Amino acid sequence: MPIILFDGVCNFCNSTINYIIDHDGGKHHFASLQSEFGQKLLRENKRSVSNFDSVMLWEDGLLYEKSEAALRIARQVKGWKWLWHFRFLPLFLRNGIYNLIARNRYSWFGKRESCRLPSPEERARFVE
């Protein structure tokens, strides 16, 4: 099952994960980038363990990031499937828009002091 890695202290990221949980039909598992699992996966894939400027998707043994991860996730989420059509835009353009949002997400949406705690029903979908 694909695993979405997200910035656990970002309000925008947490709201996005909440939406995915409610609308993906149980297709994804989740872990924060700050979690032990997230840190291990980042190290194993030679990614920064302290710069959390991208959502990541671990799927079929590959780690996708930025707009590629976002679009691959969106195609599995009710209400967002239409976003998959944007995959035809050049990567530099997609990632440019992604980077603009990522750079400003804390100032636009705020941040939390701690990672999101899933409800008992959601806990099974989170990787420890």
List pLDDT tens digits, range 60-117: 999 999 999 999 999 999 999 999 999 999 999 999 999 999 998 888 988 876 555 6
pLDDT band at residue 31 using 50, 70 and 90 as cut-offs: very high
pLDDT band at residue 122 using 50, 70 and 90 as cut-offs: confident
> Rounded distance, CA 59 to CA 97, Å?
23
Which strands form 62-65's sheet, in the order they lie side by side? 29-32, 3-6, 56-59, 62-65
Predicted model pTM: 0.87
User: What b-and-e string marks burial along 43-68, b requiring 16 or more CB atoms within 10 Å of the CB?
Assistant: eeeebeeeebbbbbbbbeeebbbbbb
Residue 121: closest CA among 26, 39, 17, 19: 26
